[in-house]
A and B are shown apart, each in its own frame.
Chain A
């Protein structure tokens, strides 16, 4: 069965400093991994996704994530935080339920990013 663990419920950084949001997953097959962002009172928007191509994935707004199978991790990074990055970030795994089953989408608990001026 698949699962997602976001290791930090809150992360606080200063504007202009690097961002690291950590995500570990567990999956039985070949998962697809996503990061979504949710700004206050808004729906979710895709930042980036990994679907078994390049392990370093670049997304929107300067974010990127690296898929590390040996560590079962998919951490999200950004070199320099901006005030507009303050939001909730969700790591997501999507994988088959079995050899003939459909697939399920599992969301992590979310990491709230605070950016200080």
Chain B
């Protein structure tokens, strides 16, 4: 158990809808990362937050947004969902958000868009 929790575990929704994925980092970690894992694209880095501020941006679509709250939990919002957004979404956390940090991964949220 990494100490990172993600809810929900599974999410099934329809095209055009909006969903929110939630992540609670390990106790003491200030940085949160979001990743998307799909069969055709592999593991893609989406975005990183550090202590409430956006730190780095990867291949995140404009329809997607995220934030990190004062209590350090994070939410990833996915809107105008398309079939291709079906994937496993991972959250990870790390102590200081630096490039040498070990990232601790949550169990993931499996999103299915029908």
Which residues from chain A sit less than 8 Å from chain B, CB to CB?
Answer: 31-32, 34, 36, 42-46, 49, 51, 90, 94-97, 102-110
Contact = CB atoms under 8 A, between A and B. Distances in A.
Contacts of A110: 42-43
Nearest to A110: B42
Interface of B: 2, 4, 33, 35, 42-45, 48, 55-56, 58, 90, 92, 98-100, 102-108
A32 to B, nearest CB: 5
B6 to A, nearest CB: 9
B30 to A, nearest CB: 14
Given A43-B90, A49-B100, A102 B55 contact: yes
B99 A90 contact: no
A95 B99 contact: yes
Contacts of B55: 102
